[in-house]
């Protein structure tokens, strides 16, 4: 089967459709410094898996690759934390070319007692077999749903000769077409028999991937080591996990990268909490981080650890404050419930939000917010700036 990828005139390297007039002269080439480029959006930050990317996940048979990938699938489909970091809630399509239905069902039920609506595992047990390389149906699903696509194992996804670059090139171009609408692809692969192998087959496989890591299991200690040795969107890292295969649980045993990233997120949250409404540039200057990293972290925490608001051409950031009991106004909904938006976000510091009983809330004299904690031990404190409102 042949696959004709989109032409260079239609698709950019980042997967986007190129619009406008064609480049005919040197001066027609867009200035990279002036381009408005969206920051990388991570689906699984702990592993560096982002939208519009292809990940090569290499490891021997029996080392728990599939088990860990399925645990990750559940977390992503639910938008839950995975390996200590929040995921971006996304549909997940898992193509299983190897395992029987009972084995997959037993494994998933050990990890969660409930069905996961946004997770679909398409296995060889179905009358209609999982789609392979060149499938128009799979391209349509990826375009309409933008899923995290997992191929397990990669060798059965195509009929090309893995050691021949001319045959593997179109396979990788097809996967690139699958992710260009905003999804991502992960291929579970096997190493060759040679020592130090980073994946079986042609270098065209690894070369076409944005992220590649090596997976190994110490069966005596049940410790999994994931070594990221290629990452176009970040640095290399090593993560060590403690696996409980009976319960389907994986815990981080050692991951300096995750610890550092969580510390940086805490630092940004503290800056936003004490200086609400700061612009992205102001936060970057206070953080002491590299600008690209700061912007990436601000995007990662948006909607989970802080609010992002458009103020003209600038983006401003605000803390997500707890719910005021009984308050019915000035609310925005997030995945984990309702949060009060400080009145200052709406340009109204003078008028308190209405309450069902007709009473008004106490105003903080420090920041003018009406979002305050109920009285406890003779004290009323401000949710926005932590100032003591009433002794």
Would the pLDDT of 122 be above 90?
yes
For 306-321, write each residue's pLDDT tens digit: 888 888 888 899 987 6
Longest dimension (CA), the chain: 76
CA-based nearest residue to 244, from 213, 221, 216: 221
Please name the residues in contact with 288: beta carbons below 8 A apart, sequence gap of 6 or more. none
For 261-302, write each residue's pLDDT tens digit: 788 989 999 999 888 889 999 999 999 998 888 988 898 888
For 23-50, write each residue's pLDDT tens digit: 899 998 999 998 888 888 999 988 999 9
Encoded tokens for 203: 């270098």
pLDDT at 302: 84
With H, G, I as helix, E, B as strand and everything else as coil, classify residue 288. coil
DSSP string of 22-90, one letter each residue: PP-SGGGS--TTT---PPP-EEETTTTEETT-EEEEE--TTSSHHHHHHHHHHHHHHT-EETTEE----
For 208-241, write each residue's pLDDT tens digit: 999 999 999 998 888 999 999 899 987 788 889 9
For 143-198, write each residue's pLDDT tens digit: 999 999 999 999 999 999 999 999 999 999 999 999 999 999 999 998 877 656 66
Helix (H) or strand (E) holding 324: none
CA distance 329 to 331: 6
Encoded tokens for 338: 């309702």
DSSP string of 188-199, one letter each residue: EE---SSTT-S-
For residue 251, name the pLDDT band (cuts at 50, 70, 90): confident
pLDDT at 202: 84
pLDDT at 323: 45
Listed range (68-77, 217-226, 227-236, 369-378) with the worst mean pLDDT: 369-378
Residue with tokens 């458009």: 310
Would the pLDDT of 336 be above 50?
no
Separation in Å, CA 374 to CA 157, 181, 338, 343: 58, 47, 17, 18
Contact at 8 Å (CB) between 344 and 369? yes
pLDDT at 6: 53
pLDDT at 224: 93
Cβ count within 10 A of residue 88: 20
DSSP string of 167-187, one letter each residue: HHHHHHHHHHHHHTTS-EEEE
Cβ count within 10 A of residue 45: 25
Contact at 8 Å (CB) between 389 and 364? yes
Encoded tokens for 161: 């000769």
Q: Say what the pTM is.
A: 0.66
pLDDT at 4: 62
Would the pLDDT of 349 be above 80?
no
Separation in Å, CA 6 to CA 11, 69, 176, 177, 178: 6, 30, 10, 8, 11
Would the pLDDT of 140 be above 90?
yes
Would the pLDDT of 329 be above 50?
no
pLDDT at 151: 97
- Average of per-residue pLDDT values in the chain: 81
| Long-range pairs of 345-349 with CB within 8 A, sequence gap ≥ 24 | 345/277, 345/307, 345/309, 345/318
């Amino acid at each position: 089967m042949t696959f004709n990828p989109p032409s260079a005139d239609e698709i950019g390297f980042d997967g986007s459709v190129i619009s406008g007039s064609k480049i005919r002269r040197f001066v027609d080439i867009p200035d990279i410094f002036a381009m408005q480029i969206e920051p990388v959006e991570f689906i699984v930050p702990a592993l560096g898996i982002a939208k519009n990317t292809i990940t090569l996940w290499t490891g021997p048979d029996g080392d728990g690759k599939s088990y860990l990938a399925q645990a990750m699938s559940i977390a992503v489909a639910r938008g839950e934390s995975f390996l200590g970091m929040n995921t971006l809630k996304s549909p997940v399509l898992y193509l299983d070319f190897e395992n029987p239905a009972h084995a997959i069902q037993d494994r998933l039920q050990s990890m969660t007692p409930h069905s996961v609506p946004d997770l679909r595992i398409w296995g060889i047990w179905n009358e209609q077999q999982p789609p392979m390389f060149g499938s128009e149906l799979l391209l349509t699903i990826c375009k309409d749903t933008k899923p995290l696509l997992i191929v397990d194992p990669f060798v059965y996804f195509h009929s090309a000769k893995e050691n021949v670059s001319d045959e593997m090139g179109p396979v990788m171009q097809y996967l690139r077409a699958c992710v260009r609408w905003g999804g991502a692809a992960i291929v579970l692969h096997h190493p060759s028999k040679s020592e130090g192998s980073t994946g079986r087959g042609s270098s065209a496989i690894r070369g076409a991937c944005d992220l590649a890591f090596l997976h190994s299991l110490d069966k005596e200690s049940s410790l999994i080591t994931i070594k990221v040795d290629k990452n176009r969107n970040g640095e290399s890292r090593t993560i060590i996990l403690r696996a409980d295969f009976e319960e389907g649980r994986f815990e981080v045993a050692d991951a300096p990268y995750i610890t550092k990233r969580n510390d940086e997120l805490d630092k940004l949250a503290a800056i936003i909490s004490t200086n609400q409404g700061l612009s992205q540039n102001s936060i970057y200057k206070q953080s002491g981080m590299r600008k690209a990293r700061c912007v990436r972290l601000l995007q990662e925490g948006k909607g989970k650890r802080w609010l992002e608001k458009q103020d003209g051409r600038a983006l401003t950031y605000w803390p997500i404050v707890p719910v005021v009991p009984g308050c019915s106004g000035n609310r925005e909904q997030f995945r984990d419930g309702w949060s009060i938006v400080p009145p200052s976000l709406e340009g109204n510091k003078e008028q308190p939000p209405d309450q069902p009983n007709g009473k008004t809330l106490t105003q903080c004299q420090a920041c003018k917010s009406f979002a305050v904690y109920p009285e406890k031990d003779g004290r009323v404190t401000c949710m926005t700036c932590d100032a003591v409102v009433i002794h």
